[in-house]
Structure 1
Amino acid sequence: MDFRKHQPIYMQIADVILSDILERKISDGDKIPSVRELAISLQVNPNTVQRSYQWLQDEQIIFQKRGIGFYLNEEAYDKTIQLKRDEYLRDELPATLKTGKLLKVDIDTIEKIYHQL
């Protein structure tokens, strides 16, 4: 995994897990790697992975079964969709629309492109 400087590593790790959920690489109820396993595979400090897992727990994406491991919540996919949609609407879409407005791209053109996707 190549880490970017503009975002904390623990958030980049969480984003990879969220992407895996959205792409259905992992499903609701699935076990995910332990903190130690993921830290070794990514070559990061286990505390960094623990911080990612804590954030995902706070967002109710994963939960821990003591002594067994971490699992995706039964509604992890739906919660991930909601979380990423909110992030997109707050952070990415306004910037894209602002650029479009500056370039005088009308809403009909944007709608046409949207429907072609």
Structure 2
Amino acid sequence: MEFRDNKAIYLQIAEYVCEHILLGKWKGDEKVPSVREMAVELEVNPNTVMRTYELLQTKNIINNKRGIGFFVDDDAIANVKSYRKAQFMDDELPVVFRNMYLLNIGFDELQDRYNTFVKENFNS
């Protein structure tokens, strides 16, 4: 995983976990990699992964079964969407709107690009 400098690593790992859940790679009540396994896989400190897992627990995306490990919450997809949507609306959308305004990009042009992106990336 390539980490970006503009965002805390534990938040980028949270995005990684959330994406795996949204894409169906990790399903409800399925065990997620242990803190150590994830740290080795991503080449980060286990404390960073633990911070990520604690955040995701507070958002009811994963839960800890004491002595067994971390598991995807049964309501994880809805909780991920809620968490990520709020993040997008608060952090990313204002930047997009600013750039649209400065570059005189209309919603019609944006809609065309969005449709093309979805067709090329998600329609098999």
Report if TM-score (shorter chain) is over 0.5. yes
| TM-score relative to the length of structure 1 | 0.87
Match of 1:25 in 2: 25
1:39 maps to a residue whose letter is: A
Moved more, 97-106 or 45-54: 97-106
What's the CA shift for 1:68? 0.5
What's the C-alpha RMSD, in Å, of the aligned pairs?
1.7
| Aligned-residue identity in percent | 39
Matches within 5 A, 1:18-97: 18-97=18-97
Count of residue pairs the alignment pairs up: 117
What's the CA shift for 1:96? 1.3
In the alignment, structure 2 segments of 5+ residues that lack a partner are 119-124
Moved more, 94-103 or 79-88: 94-103
Structure 1 residues 53 and 98: CA distance shift in structure 2, 3 A: same
Moved more, 34-43 or 13-22: 34-43
What's the CA shift for 1:57? 0.6
In the alignment, structure 1 segments of 5+ residues that lack a partner are none
| TM-score relative to the length of structure 2 | 0.82
Structure 1 residues 101 and 28: CA distance shift in structure 2, 3 A: same
What's the CA shift for 1:22? 1.4
